[in-house]
Structure formats: structure tokens, C-alpha cells
Structure 1
Amino acid sequence: MESFDTDVLVVGAGPAGATTALALATHGVRVHVVSRYNWLADTPRAHITNQRTMEVLRDLDIEDEAYRYATPWKLMGDSLFTTSLAGEELIRIRAWGTGEERKGDYLQGSPCELLDIPQPLIEPVLYKNAAERGATFACNTEYLSHVQDEDGVTVSLRDRLTDREYTMRARFLVGADGAKSKVLDDLGLQVEGQMVRAGTTYAIFNADLTRYVEHRPSILHWIVTPNAAFGEIGFGLLRAVKPWTQWIAGWGIDLAKGEPDVSDEFVLKQIRILVGDPDLDVEIVRTSVWYVNQAYAPQYSKGRVFCAGDAVHRHPPSSGLGLNTCVQDAFNLAWKLAYVVKGHAGRGLLETYSAERAPVGKQIVKRANQSRLDYAPIKAVFRVEGADNPVEAGIARFKDPGPEGIKAREAAQAALELKNREFNAQGVEMNQRYASSAVVPDAAGGEEVWKRDPELYLQATTRPGAKIPHAWLIDRRGRKVSTLDVTGKGKFSLVTGIAGQAWVQAAQDLDLPFLRTVVTGREGTLDAYCTWQRMREIHEAGALLVRPDGYIAWRQTGPMLDAEEARRQLGEAIAMVLDRN
């Protein structure tokens, strides 16, 4: 039998690569990560961490550690539109589910809150825990090329410190090497869409702005000023990195005019204008130009090589979907690789990665870019085109007591409602539905009927292809545990009720090392609130087969009393999902 240097080699140590490593190491799979950089992210890029990503961190046992480094949900607050941070406030958007109208939806939908964790803080958490669980890492190591064959992948690498070139042999290769992915290019996979569609100047700076924010906590402030009125969004940005002493300032640029002015003198002036303090003591940490992309790959893999994260979906940070989608790509892929490496599944399981995640990538690229376009109605509220100073005239009109002012304020109301699709889009973040050979459709079939707007609202369901709904159960010590806590953790879960003894016997008879049985209603998983009984959409003697990533692979909605028939149905479902035929 061939000896491999590692089971899985991952190129890139960002959110997708590090999560892949952490999940694989947690599953007991040998994984080696290479990164061309000396260390991890050193600029606060992605920061909004949504509930589904927090559920992934919870499953990987690092949720509590993430909380230690994050700005908590309660401080993420509204998104404000002001003439400057110190200046007049104009409107607010209730954001991140913290508003009175939506907070209950978020609390009911998941055991996890949203958090604000800038990338330089979450990456070391992923990296450290992956290493502690057995993953190995090599920084300053550049991926050069790969050749795959029927048995594995030979990867050529270069040590950037010594210039030594060498090869490693792996069963599988994962390209998590970012928006300029060489692994993706080497595979010949195409990216559809438009790159460099718009641009923004970002400046990271240190300044104590507590006096402007502490009484109205918010991580995101939009500044309505003529000095930052260019571009698709048309407002200046102040985003908290470390409340309330480190910030990012941003403003749109005109790509037709070439490279923007990023001199310290100009950037300092812009920061002071956005804050509204001409004498503000500012330490500029770094200035960069960031470009807006709208591109996605229709296919994520070929043979034994897989791509994840920004390599396959490239978009702006609007809607906060970037890091979240990277982490969720990795979580989907890792358990499948682990099951194939361990011999629990056939190679066909790996084909479901692209089938399930590529539609999600396309969706979030379109949603993130649409979120930028959806600022247009707000911009129109605070603009009077043709005026000597359109922004100042727009603000004056907004405050006018006459008919034009009434119209502007009514337009502001409609514009804020539209922005719920960015700032309170629990459905966008949580309503992913998978369709692949790793999901067995209901025998009855039929399309899912959405009871409310699927972008705004989570629709919990036990339909195959959906994530298992969250409901609180009670453990043996009287503590609340989620349905997500008694499933996952690298195993398939057969979920039934007290009446489902035929399913319990069927699982025992199959005797599969990766299958656990969860009987809701009995001691340890007591359905004390009867919430799960209300949500499960199946008979108490029915069953759900839940995958390691929390998604439902198969269900039997009706009662089953015959253990032999239950064993046959369950065995066939597992064989189909895992390509064990």
C-alpha cells in the first residue's frame, strides 16, 4: 500500500483553510497546511460572524474561545447614518437581529448569537486548535503546482526562506488560497462574473472615539458627507475593529481617475472629516485600496482536488457573508473527506461538495453585490441632483417641514425597510438547502413552500437538504442543550422519539461506528418544552438521519414499528448518501 506524507494537503491558512484543517484534525485525519505568508491575517477584513458560522464553531468546540475575542452581539448595535460621528444623526438601521422586531427570530432560530470577530482574531483561534488536535502547518511555503492520479496528488512546494523546492504526496488537495487561487487556475476551473467592478480606500487607524459611541454602541457608521459621496454606496464608513479605539475608515474611489490619493496627509484629513473632529489625535496603521468583485465558480472540484473560500466566491463585504461562507464551505467538505479517508464512504460522496456549495457561493456573491446597490434609495434621500452641493441640499430637504421633506422622510422609511435584506437577513444566512446524492428527497416530493420571505426569515424544517432545526432539550443535569448539540460532532445521527424503538433496534443491528441514535423525550434529551415535538414534522415513531454537518440526509415521516423494515430503509439511505453501494 502506498505511503502518503499526509491524507489531505491544504493550500492557504485563511478561514477556509484553517477551518478545513481544524475539522479534519478533529475527525482524526492527517492534514498538513501550507501558507506562502509568514503568519496569518494582519488586517481586520471580515468581521461579522453569523449564527450558522457560530454553530460550526460550536460543533468544533471553539465557540467559547471565539466569545473571548469578539465584540458581543449586544454591542454590535444599530447601523447609524450621521453627518459625522460627532455630528448630526439622520437615520438608523436596526441591524444584526438586535432590534426589537427581530431579536426573537434570531433567539428561536439558533443556540448561537452573532458576534463581531475581525479576521486577525479568529484565524489564530482556528489555527491554534487545529495544531493542538494534530494538524501540521508550514508558513513561508509556496504552492507551485500539482499532478493528480488515480491514487493521490503530488504537490510541488517551495520553501520561501531557503528557496528549496520539494514535493509532498497526499490523498487529496484543498485549494483555499484566496481570490487569486493558483490551485483553481491549475485545475482549469472557470470563474464567472466581473472582477474590479468598483473600488474603496480603507484606512485602519487608532483613535479613542468612546465619547461618540459608548452611549449608542454600534460597529458600523455611515457618514453622509460631500467628502465621501462618490461611488455605488456614496457614504463614508467608520467601522469599529476594537471598541472603541481601533477603526477602519472607508470611502469610494473613481477607478477612471487611476490610483487614489493614499498619502498620510489626505487620509488623516478624511478620517477627521468622517469623525467630525478637526483636531482628533489619530495613528494611521495602514492604508489600502480594496476592489469590489462579483464572481463565482460554478464548479468547486475536479478529481482529488477541491477549492474553497475566496478561491471560488469573490464579493464585497456587504451582508457580512465572506468569512462565514468560507467556514461553511470547509465544514461541508471536511467531514466528506474524513469519511472517504476512513473508508466509511465511497468517492462519490466527494462529488456532492461542489453540488451543494456552488449554488450557495453563487447566491451570496449576488446577494452581497445587490446589497451595495440597495444603498441607492438611501443615497437618493440625501441627494438633490443639480444643486451646488447635492449632499447638503439633500440633508436640508430631509429636515424640511414642507411637502418635499415629507416625501424624503417617507422615502427614508422605504429605504430602511429594503436594507433589512442586508442587516437582518437571517434567511440568507440560515436557509441554505442542499440538493445532491448525499440527500435523499422525501418520497412524497414536492417543492418547499416558503411561509415568509426566505431572505429575511429563517424557515426551520426537517425536510432533507435543510439543517436540523434548533430546539432546546433538557439533559440529565437539567441543563438546556440544543438539538444541534446532540447531533453532529463528526457522526451521523438517527433522531427518533420514545415510540421509535424499531429505529433504535435498526441502528443497533447495523452497528456502524459513525452512527449514533438520539431518542428525544427520554432522560438526557428530554423535550420538556415540547418544542421539538412541534417542530419535527414527523411522527414520534418516524426518524431523521442527520449528517455530521447538521444537515438532514433522509427522513421517514410516518411511524415505523417493524425493526427489520426500519433496518432495511435506514441501511439503504446510508448506503445511498455515502456512496457505499
Structure 2
Amino acid sequence: MTTSNNFDTDVLVIGTGPAGATAALALATYGVRVKMVTMFNWLANSPRAHITNQRAMEVLRDLGLEEEVIRAATPWEQMGDTLFTTSLGGEEIARLRTWGTGDKRKGDYVQGSPCTMLDLIQPEMESILLKHAAARSAQVSFNTEYLRHEQDAEGVTAYMKDVSTGQEYTVRAKYLVGADGANSKVVKEIDVPIVGEMARAGTAYVIFNADLSRYVAHRPSILQWIATPEAGFGEIGMGLLRAIRPWDQWIAGWGFDMAKGAPDLSPETVLQKIRLLAGDPELVVDVERMSTWYVNQAHATEYSRGRVFCAGDAVHRHPPSSGLGSNTCMQDSFNLAWKLAYVVKGFASPSLLETYTPERAPVGKQIVARANQSRKDYALLKECFNFGNGVDTVAKLLDRMRDPSPAGVEVRLNLQKALEIKNFEFNGQGVELNQRYESSAVVRDEHDGHEVWAKDKELHLQATTRPGAKLPHAWLVNESGLRVSTLDVVGKGSMTLVTGLAGQAWVEAAQHLNKPFLKTVVTGAKGTADLYCDWQAVREVHEAGAILVRPDGYVAWRQRDAVWSADEAVAQLQQALQSVLG
């Protein structure tokens, strides 16, 4: 084992998925030498993840990719209502306003973030992330298999193999990031604990091309749940048609009984299933690919060992329900990247890296639970349909749903309750934006006490400047008269001290400390004018107070009361920075 300090790179990233590519992109953006490798010849080869939530879009906005992602994605307004129908061309049972597009929730989403949700399939997202990572000097190697690593006090020696030639070699790095997916070799090697259950249910997926615009254009929706006895198996109990590209490329999905082995994916069966779900017995279908995947419910309780850190599906494994997968992967890396950059550059002590697990592991645990619960929450819908209990045809299902008797009234009331429960999957803005960090990189205000939630914290965003929360979005106005978000004036790799016009003491304190990573934003000043008074309404601190925001947009520390003395501001700010950065 070599212990040479002649490093080939600062950070070696294993994997080019959303976690790996975001890590490489952010590190390269921050001026850190980074090398990203994958054993494959190219990026994701199937649509996989597609929902891009507001927090992931904020990450992309900070990294300068938002506009390009918007151009490539299905826009928010076309993500639309989620249908529950007997077939795509058949009679509908219900619709649910989803992804924050409904009248009751759209205002929450618009108020909560400068970014909307979007739908972009994983291969296209990965290509955008990778292209810009490489353009910002990240090294990228395909056909490069990670074999193992050895750690020492100064760095990590990774053993690699060129897949095309079979040649083995080593890469010397200061840190290693394992973003190598649900079968992570890195996770196994460092032996981090994984708790939960793998492969608890099975699903068949078929990617196909067919023009279904006549069924969808008048009611745009990326998800269509098909309720028929033929697709009634499993936890969800419905078939799925998911739009990959509006409205001519799709995924058809249905559950299968794992106890009976692999599902029948013969061409005849697959064509019959697709036509059944579409409700068109003559539909012309071009099948591109068939596969199976399994529902996991597992998460790591620790994300690192020494100089090796893991992110993404390597540490949280769950179904796509609630659309949390790639979004959480990207946020893992955004949390980790600035910490690695600050340690590599000497801005922070290596102890800062110890905050990664306590901040992100609870998030991973939460989203694994939420995604699996979203599947289990279909139980009441299945009870409404009552498949297998006398309801064995679509006609009988529709009779049950339209029954004018008291029994029918009860079914429809239960349908309403079932749809309300599904808001936790399809309108869970709180799950996406209410993450709270607790670690030494967050300095608690002893006067804040325990946070009280005004509304359900999974459904509704509660914006706050409490340390450990994401900085609230509010519109400011720049020198050109254009709106800029509070999230736009922080981040970009810097720690940001936010104060108001009365906070001159804080401005002087930041100038006195003269840290290369610290910038100051004075809200109300020219370029950051609070003309709407939006920021004043949500900042929760005195105008002469201050908020210290980390590069990832999370509040590290705040002084709620006014400070007028520059000496006092220097002492408080210096102590806060030392606490956060070690």
C-alpha cells in the first residue's frame, strides 16, 4: 500500500448517476480537483428517475444549470393531474391534482421556491450534469471499474481496472466518494450498516413507443393508474402508464408475484398488457425494452468511514413512489461537496466532514420510509375497487363505483379519503423542503426551543431561518429592476452573512475577518432591495441581526437581536464560523 502524498486528484468519485455527477459538478465548480469514473460505456440506459422536485431544482439553479434543465424537461404544467382510470381510453374513476399544480396547492409551491417542479428522465439529467462537470475541469473516465481501496492517514489509494484492456492501476486521492448505486461495492467494503428489507415486491416495466396523444393531450398527466382486475395484483393493485416523452414514449408497469418466479414478458403477453392498459385493442406498439425491478426498503445508518463517503442509492434504497430518489441523491452530494471543498482548501477542519452522516442519514431514513409508505397507502383505493371479491370485470368495477345505494355512497366517501391520503405522495412539499439538519455545522439558538409545526410537516413547507433549516425563498429586486431570490444571493460556494440596512456592524465584522470564503449581503441595499417586504416578513431576525448561510443554502447560525457594536459582531461571527467549520 502506498502512502505517497503525490495525489492524482483531490476527490475520486465512483459512479456517474445523479449523486456522483452532482458531486463531481459541485466540486469542479468550487475549484477542487475531481475525477469521476464508471465501469459502464455511458450513462443511465433507461428512464429510471424522472420527477425533479423544487429542492433539486434549487441545487441546479445554484450550480448554473436550471435553464438548461428547463429546456430539456417536461414542464410543470404538463405534469398535471394523476388519473385513476379503467384504461387510458376508458372511463375514469378519479383524478388527483398532483405535483403542486392544483388550485389548492399551487400557491404554496410558488411561494416556497423560485423553482418549479419538472419532469426529466435520468439519462438526460445525467448527461447535463456530466457535460458541465467535465466543462468545469472534472476528469471523467468510462469503462473504468473500481476494484477496491486502501486508506491511510493522508489519503486513499483506489485500485482500478480499464475494462477495455484489463489493465489494473491505482488512483491516489485525498477522499473517495462512493456513489455506485444500490449494489454499492464501496458500501460493502467499508461495512456501513444497512437496515431494512431488500426486494420485498416485484414490478415489471416495459418501455414502448406509441402515439397516445389523443388520450392525454386534453388532460396532460405523466402518471396514469389503470384500475382493472387484470392489473390488480400486488401492493398498489393497479397498472401504470408513465409518460417518458409527451405523448409518444411510455413505460407500462405492473406488479408480479415473486413467489412464482419471473413474470411472463413474452412479446404476446406484453403487447396484450399494453393494449389493455391503453384501452385500445388495435394499438400499434414498438417495444424498446423489458425489465423487472424490486421494491427495497433499506437505508444506511452511517454514510462514511474515515476518508470514504457514500451517497445516493448506495445509502438509501427505495421505490420511485413520491419521486424522491434522484432528488435526494443530488442533495446528498450538494451537502457533501462544499464540506469536502472547504477541507481540501484549508477553510475548515476535517471535523466538518463528520457532519455529513448526522445531517443526511436522517433524511435518507425518512425518504425510504415515505416512498414505501406511499405504496402502502394505495390500500384504501384497493378496498374501494374490491378486486377479487365479486369485482372481476371493468363493468362490475364501474357498477360498484356508481352504485346509487347506501353501499355506493360509502364506496365514494372512501374513495375521497383514499385520494386525500395520496396527497402525501403527490403533493408532499414538506417532505421535499422541510429537512432540518442537526450537527456541529449548525449552531442552535438556545432561545428558539423546539420547533412547532403549524401544519402537517410532510404536506406543507414551513419556511424559517432557524439554524439547520433551508434559507426561506423571498423575492428581492436587483439593480436592473429584476427579481432575484434570496437563494440567488447566497451559495455559489460561499458562506454568506445576511443582514439588513441597519446591520452595518456585521458588514464591518465580515470585512475585519476578511475570510476568502465569506461574503456579505445587505438586504434593502441597492441590488438586493426588499421592495415587496417579503424578506422582512420571513427573516425572523432584527434588521440589525444576522443570518449565516452555508454554501448549500442552509442556515448555519443566526443572531436574532440587534447588534450595533462592530466589536461584538466580530466576536460573535468569529465564534460562529469556528463552531461551524471546526
The corresponding residue for 2:311 is 308
Q: Counterpart in 2 of 1:159?
A: 162
Instruction: Report the alpha carbon displacement of residue 247 of structure 1 after superposing the two structures with TM.
Output: 0.2
1:53-452 correspondence runs (5 A): 53-383=56-386, 385-387=388-390, 389=392, 392-452=395-455
Deviation per CA, 1:500-533, whole angstroms, max 9, x where unpaired?
0000000000000000000001110000000100
List alignment gaps of at least 5 residues for structure 2.
none
Which of 2, 5, 10 is 1:7 aligned to? 10
1:156-214 deviation per Cα after TM superposition (whole angstroms, max 9, x unaligned): 00011000000010000000000000000000112100000001000000001010000
Counterpart-to-counterpart distance in 1, 2:271 and 2:125: 29
User: Which of 52, 57, 77 matches 2:55?
Assistant: 52
Q: Does the CA-based 8 Å contact 1:383-1:391 persist in structure 2?
A: no
Quick check: 1:499–1:541 contact (8 Å CA) kept in 2? yes
Shift of 1:236: 0.4
Partners of 1:535 and 1:71 in 2: CA distance: 32
Q: CA deviation at 1:390?
A: 7.0
Distance 1:157 1:482 in 2: 43
Letter in 2 for 1:573: A
Work out the CA distance in 1 between the residues paired with 2:66 and 2:338.
Answer: 19
> In the alignment, is the contact (CA less than 8 A) between 1:75 and 1:217 conserved in 2?
yes
What residue number does 2:496 align with? 493
| Contact 1:48–1:320 (8 Å) recurs in 2 | yes
Match of 2:509 in 1: 506
Please state whether the residue corresponding to 1:230 is helix, strand or coil: coil
Q: Partner of 2:205: helix, strand, or coil?
A: strand
Q: CA deviation at 1:570?
A: 0.2
Measured in 1, the distance between the counterparts of 2:389 and 2:521 equals 66
Correspondence for 1:522 = 525
- Secondary structure of the 1:459 match is coil
The residue identity in structure 1 corresponding to 2:74 is T
Give the Cα separation in 1 of the matches to 2:467 and 2:575: 15
Letter in 1 for 2:189: D
Report the alpha carbon displacement of residue 394 of structure 1 after superposing the two structures with TM. 3.6
Contact (CA 8 Å) 1:77, 1:218: kept in 2 or not? Answer: yes
What SS is found at the alignment partner of 1:484?
Answer: helix
- Which of 477, 480, 484 aligns to 2:483? It is 480
TM-superposed deviation, 1:441: 0.3
Give the residue type in structure 1 aligned to 2:329. Answer: C
* Deviation at residue 443 of structure 1 after TM alignment: 2.6
Alpha-carbon separation, structure 1, partners of 2:462 and 2:394: 40
- Asked if the contact 1:382–1:391 (Cα under 8 Å) also holds between the matched residues in 2, the reply is no
Alignment match, 1:458: 461
Query: SS in structure 2 opposite 1:366?
Result: helix
Q: Are 1:41 and 2:53 matched, yes or no?
A: no
CA change 1:174–1:112 in 2 (3 A) is: same
Distance 1:388 1:434, change over 3 A: closer
- Structure 1 stretches of 4+ with a deviation exceeding 4 A read none
Letter in 2 for 1:50: N
Q: Is the 8 A contact 2:229 2:388 kept in 1?
A: no
Whether the 8 Å CA contact 1:381–1:394 is kept in 2: the answer is: no
User: Partner of 1:211: helix, strand, or coil?
Assistant: helix
1:243 aligned partner, one-letter code: P
Q: Distance in 2 between matches of 1:384 and 1:495?
A: 58
What is the TM-score when the length of structure 2 is the normalising length?
Answer: 0.99
* Matching residue's letter, 2:226: I
Change over 3 Å in CA distance of 1:391–1:447 after alignment to 2: farther
Provide the rounded CA distance (Å) in 1 between the counterparts of 2:45 and 2:385.
36
Q: Distance in 1 between matches of 2:161 and 2:272?
A: 43
What's the offset of the Cα at 1:379?
1.2
Deviation, 1:385, is 4.7
Q: Distance in 1 between matches of 2:68 and 2:388?
A: 50
CA deviation after TM superposition for structure 1 residue 265, in Å: 1.3
Percent sequence identity over matched residues? Answer: 65
Q: Which amino acid aligns with 2:562?
A: P
Unpaired segments ≥5 residues, structure 1: none
How much does 1:130 deviate? 0.2
For residue 551 of structure 2, the aligned residue among 548, 552, 555 is 548
Deviation at 1:386, TM superposition (A): 2.8
Maintained 8 Å contact 1:176/1:309: yes
Query: What displacement does 1:127 show?
Result: 0.3
Residue aligning to 1:566: 569
Deviation string for 1:91-136 (max 9, x for gaps)? Answer: 0111000000000000000000000000011100000000000001
Separation in 1, partners of 2:458, 2:393: 33
Q: For residue 11 of structure 1, report the CA deviation from its aligned partner.
A: 0.3
Q: Is the 8 A contact 1:474 1:527 kept in 2?
A: yes
Contact kept, 8 Å, 2:86 with 2:394, in 1: the verdict is no
Q: Is the 8 A contact 2:34 2:139 kept in 1?
A: yes
Is the Cα–Cα contact under 8 Å of residues 80 and 222 in structure 1 kept in the other structure? yes
The 8 Å contact of residues 298 and 368 in structure 2, kept in 1 or not, is answered as yes
- The CA deviation at 1:387 is 1.3
SS at match of 1:294: strand
- Any conservation in 2 of the 1:425–1:455 contact (CA below 8 Å)? yes
**Any idea what SS the aligned residue of 1:100 has?**
coil
> In the aligned structure 2, how far is the partner of 1:498 from the partner of 1:94?
42
User: Take 2:22 and 2:460, find their aligned partners in 1: how far apart are those partners?
Assistant: 27
Greater mean alpha carbon deviation, residues 158-167 or residues 436-445:
436-445
Cα distance in 1 for residues equivalent to 2:81 and 2:49: 18
Task: Give me the whole-angstrom Cα distance separating, in 2, the residues matched to 1:7 and 1:332.
Answer: 17
